[in-house]
Amino acid sequence: MRFTRQYMNMTEIGSIFGTTGHKVGKWLKEVGLRNEFGDPSRHAYEQKMISADFDRHGTYNVLWNAAKVVPLLRDAGHEPTSPPPAELVEPPVLVGPFTVQPAEGGIHGIVGDNGDLSITVIGEANAQVVKHVLNVASKSGHLDQLVQKYQ
């Protein structure tokens, strides 16, 4: 997953997961990135996971490094929405070979070699067909040509 901005506030990160900034704050505490007062933990500072700016009223705004925080939240069991918000997450690049990743409710993800969820498909048979077509196009070089043409 690639992001449109390096740093985001908790509300923006929440929209990637389909939840609120308040809930993200709780999750950040659970993974050790916020202390009991809700401030960034020493670990968050040491790992360069935050950027803090003081505003004109003397308070500070904390922004979180999306590329570091989102994977930690995923590893903690929180799944991003599908599709993610286009204003925060760049569309995935189609890179083969592709595999099928089952999900809930009969929805399957087509995952590229770069680990990006590229396409969601309803039904396992449909997912296998889409995977096969993408792999044939990738192996022949046509997929790269089409990606370049439409980017």
**C-alpha span between 70 and 5 (Å, rounded):** 13
Are residues 108 and 63 both part of a single domain? no
**C-alpha span between 137 and 112 (Å, rounded):** 13
Are residues 70 and 113 both part of a single domain? no
Q: Is residue 112 part of a domain?
A: yes
Q: Are strands 99-102 and 117-122 parallel, antiparallel or unpaired?
A: unpaired
Are residues 110 and 68 both part of a single domain? no
Q: Which domain holds residue 109?
A: 99-150
Residue 97 has pLDDT above 80, yes or no: yes
Q: Is residue 128 part of a domain?
A: yes
Query: How many structural domains compose the chain?
Result: 2
Are residues 12 and 53 both part of a single domain? yes
**C-alpha span between 18 and 24 (Å, rounded):** 10
Model confidence at 114, in pLDDT bands (50, 70, 90)? confident
**Nearest Cα to 138, choosing from 107, 94, 100, 108?**
94
Q: Specify the pTM.
A: 0.73
DSSP labels, 12-57: HHHHHHTS-HHHHHHHHHHTTSB-TTSSBPHHHHHTT-EEEEE-TT
Q: Which range, of 33-37, 61-65, 80-84, 118-122, averages the lowest pLDDT?
A: 80-84
